Amino acid sequence: MSDLITLAHGAGGEAMQRLLAQEIAVLYDGEPQWEDAAILPADGRIAVTTDSFVVKPLVFPGGDIGKLAATGTINDLAMRGAVPLYMTVALILEEGLPVATLRQALRSLREVCEQEGVRIVAGDTKVVEKGSGDGLFINTTGVGLVHEPHPPGCKSVKPTDRVLVSGPLGDHGIALLVAREELPLRTPITSDCAPLNGLVQAMLQAAPGAVHALRDLTRGGLAAALNEIALASEVQIGIEDRLIPVRPEVKGACELLGFDPLHLANEGRLVAFVAEDHVETVLQAAQRHPLGRESVVIGEVRPGARPRVTVLTELGTSRVLSMPAGELLPRIC
């Protein structure tokens, strides 16, 4: 195996066979099938989600593109209450990519899948010329089984629901930015990148039917997620500034760099909308899980003619939290 990816590695011939056997095979249990499609058992209802990962840089404090690609797709399945079962992995390699970088990313990806009981069942590998890509793009598509009779969905939120977030916001966004710009920060910030299906299952089982909606807080952060849900469920959402968890070092970096932590991407945080009567039970279940220890309730849902998200500031005034307008931090996931 040469050290750098060449176009021959994507051409469907011998060089490609070597790449598949020596590097890509790490994703699969035993001997990969290399069939055109994998055949799998799936009884009842399945959840399907897809995501392409174009994160920059490929390695960052707390993870790399491989960990992110497995985590992001597992999380999207978890947000529908599905148990993640299968994953496909499609790679776009840029000519000249160090094989060692690919190898590390695939190992991270595989590691997350193994930990979470997800089987990688199909894949694809393409190579593009130098300058036509950016090192490594990974698409992962996930299939999960849905056992919930009424799976959480962004249209199912009701007035009086409580709004819960599972931990401090903005770590992933700031960790990425610091890694990209090589900013010197006194306190290092690590991405929150983590698979949330265990946390979600704990919350769902604590009070069946009580979790009406779940969103992981990726691109666009809490601001985008709350606005999307307000629109989809046609409700108003009110949250309180003083209740929103943000680490002091993230708050500091945001002030320095002019970012709003509510707009920053996270890769291991979720927002849950929980029936008022069961919020304590669900909150405690979340706090007992290692990835939900810092969970808090930050607001509630109100009826209202026009969908809207408002924040009660620490000064006691109220401001509208709008959808982030345009380019914040590109290539965040």
Contacting a second copy within 27-46 (CB under 8 A) = 33-46
- Using the rule CB under 8 A, is 26 a contact of a second copy? no
Q: Which of residues 296-325 bind a second copy (CB under 8 A)?
A: 322-325
Nearest approach, Cβ of residue 188 and a second copy (Å)? 25
Calculate helix-pair angle for 279-288, 197-206, nearest 10 degrees.
150
Neighbours of 316 (CB within 10 A): 6
- For the record, the structure tokens of 89 come out as 């992995």
- Using the rule CB under 8 A, is 14 a contact of a second copy? yes
- For the record, the structure tokens of 114 come out as 């193994």
Q: What whole-number distance in Å separates Cα of residue 283 and Cα of residue 296?
A: 7
- Using the rule CB under 8 A, is 48 a contact of a second copy? yes
Among 6, 201, 281, 287, the residue binding a second copy under the rule CB under 8 A is 6
Q: Which of residues 127-166 bind a second copy (CB under 8 A)?
A: 127-129, 131-134, 137, 139, 141-144, 146, 151, 153-155
- Using the rule CB under 8 A, is 4 a contact of a second copy? no
Nearest in space to 295 (alpha carbons), one of 123, 186, 113, 168: 168
Nearest approach, Cβ of residue 220 and a second copy (Å)? 3
Instruction: Give 94 or 249: the residue with its C-beta nearer to a second copy.
Output: 94
The per-residue b/e assignment along 47-85, b for 16 or more CB within 10 angstroms, e otherwise, is bebebebbbeebbbbbbbbbbbbbbbbbbbbbbbbbbbb
Q: Are 235 and 302 in contact (CB under 8 A)?
A: yes
Binding segment (CB under 8 A) for a second copy, from list 199-207, 224-232, 253-261, 298-306: 224-232
3-state secondary structure at position 243: helix
| Number of residues forming the site for a second copy (CB under 8 A) | 90
Nearest approach, Cβ of residue 157 and a second copy (Å)? 13
Q: Which of residues 104-123 bind a second copy (CB under 8 A)?
A: 121-123
